[in-house]
């Protein structure tokens, strides 16, 4: 969900004639600048079988385009990016390739994939960075890691946001905390399971009416305190965030930067996050957001935020301008294009 937010925002602010190509199982988008190759299910084999059609469509578009700039968003398994980059790198010398990394995928795969998939991912990731004419990373920490690991020179391109106007309308009754992100993504799954097994059972003993709202889809389990909203519109997401007591992000592993946190801070929503969750985000050195780890600390922070919600909400509202300005996708992309003469 965070990846799609970044991709759409970057695409909307890219200052050239452009077209986006994607393989997706989601409903058709009525947009002339987006070409979608549809698959029945969100599974690797379905995407792999559609890669020849994707490459063909890109090739045809380049035949009618003067500026042959191919921007690959690394928001899915690195294998897909590798196939497309390999094809255009070795068969079309006049195409400039920019690879935009969303994370160090091999780090994530090491945590939950078998050894073969992890080693394959690491090899393909290395080749993708080396084959690209220009590659980027989302934070200084990840940039330094990638450069050291793969002997390349990536450029910093932070994730940004494009806030949309929305009508403030509370759509969930009662007090709730929120977590946003697809349950199908392993780091999100781990964080959501942690909230439901270690945090919420203890919280509801002190606040029996407190709920946990989930957005992003993929969650099938049943807990009495969970309100699962699935995949939601941007307007609904902003409303759920805005009226929540806080966004809780107890991530234990993962890579990249969390768009959910940047959006929440830009809306004035209070954030409680693990150190891993807040990684790569340029913060104002003040609370909120609250950075903590461990069951007891998380629970105490949540209780404190709910008890003193007006005070912390006021502080968050005073800080939101900083995050809106520093993470404006338009400003980030303009600076990136000017500095790299694209």
Residue 130 has a pLDDT of 95
Residue 101 has a pLDDT of 92
Neighbours of 291 (CB within 10 A): 18
Q: How confident is the model at residue 28 (pLDDT cuts 50, 70, 90)?
A: low
The residue with greater pLDDT, 179 or 231, is 179
Quick check: 92 and 41 in contact, CB under 8 A?
no
Question: Is the pLDDT confidence value at 30 over 70?
Answer: no
pLDDT in tens, 280-317: 887 776 667 899 999 999 999 999 999 999 999 988 88
What mean pLDDT do residues 162-170 have? 83
Share above pLDDT 70 across residues of the chain, in percent, rounded to a whole number: 95
CATH class of 176-326: alpha beta
Give CA–CA dist 93/316, Å, rounded: 50
CATH 3.40.50.2000 residue ranges in the chain?
2-160+330-339, 176-326
Question: Is the pLDDT confidence value at 17 over 80?
Answer: no
Q: How confident is the model at residue 45 (pLDDT cuts 50, 70, 90)?
A: confident
Helix (H, G, I), strand (E, B) or coil at 224: coil
Average pLDDT, the chain: 88
Report if pTM > 0.75. yes
Q: At 136, phi and psi to the nearest 5?
A: -130, 160
Residue 271 has a pLDDT of 94
Where does 2-160+330-339 sit in CATH, by number? 3.40.50.2000
With tokens 């035949």, the residue in question is: 63
Query: Chain-centre distance of CA 275, in angstroms?
Result: 17
Cis status, amide bond into 233, omega within 30 of 0: no
Cα end-to-end distance, the chain, whole Å: 28
**Two tokens at 182?**
């697809």
């Amino acid at each position: 969900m965070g990846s799609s937010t970044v991709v759409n925002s970057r695409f909307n602010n890219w200052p050239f004639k452009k077209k986006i190509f994607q393989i997706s199982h989601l409903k058709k988008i009525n947009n002339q600048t987006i070409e979608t190759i549809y698959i029945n299910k969100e599974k690797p084999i379905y995407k792999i079988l559609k890669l020849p059609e994707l490459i063909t469509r890109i090739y045809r578009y380049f035949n009618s385009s003067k500026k042959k700039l191919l921007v690959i968003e690394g928001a899915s398994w690195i294998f897909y990016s590798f196939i497309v980059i390999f094809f255009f790198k070795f068969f079309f010398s006049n195409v400039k390739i920019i690879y935009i990394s969303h994370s160090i995928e091999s780090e994530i795969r090491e945590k939950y994939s078998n050894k073969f998939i992890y080693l394959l991912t690491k090899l393909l990731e290395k080749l993708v960075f080396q084959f690209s004419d220009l590659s980027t990373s989302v934070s200084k920490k990840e940039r330094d890691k990638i450069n050291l690991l793969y002997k390349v020179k990536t450029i910093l391109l932070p994730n940004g946001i494009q806030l949309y106007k929305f009508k403030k309308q509370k759509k969930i009754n009662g007090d709730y905390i929120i977590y946003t992100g697809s349950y199908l993504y392993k780091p999100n799954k781990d964080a959501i399971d942690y909230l439901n097994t270690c945090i919420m059972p203890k919280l509801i003993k002190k606040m029996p009416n407190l709920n946990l709202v989930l957005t992003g889809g993929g969650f099938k389990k049943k807990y009495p305190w969970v309100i699962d909203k699935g995949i939601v519109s941007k307007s609904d997401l902003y409303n759920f965030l805005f009226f929540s007591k806080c966004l809780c992000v107890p991530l234990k592993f993962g890579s990249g930067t969390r768009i959910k946190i940047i959006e929440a801070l830009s809306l004035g929503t209070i954030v409680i996050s693990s150190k891993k969750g807040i990684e790569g985000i340029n913060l104002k050195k003040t609370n909120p957001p609250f950075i903590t780890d461990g069951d007891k600390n998380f629970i105490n922070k949540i209780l404190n935020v709910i008890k003193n919600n007006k005070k912390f909400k006021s502080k968050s509202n005073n800080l939101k301008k900083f995050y809106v300005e520093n993470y404006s996708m338009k400003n980030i992309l303009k600076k990136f294009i000017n500095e790299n003469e694209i």
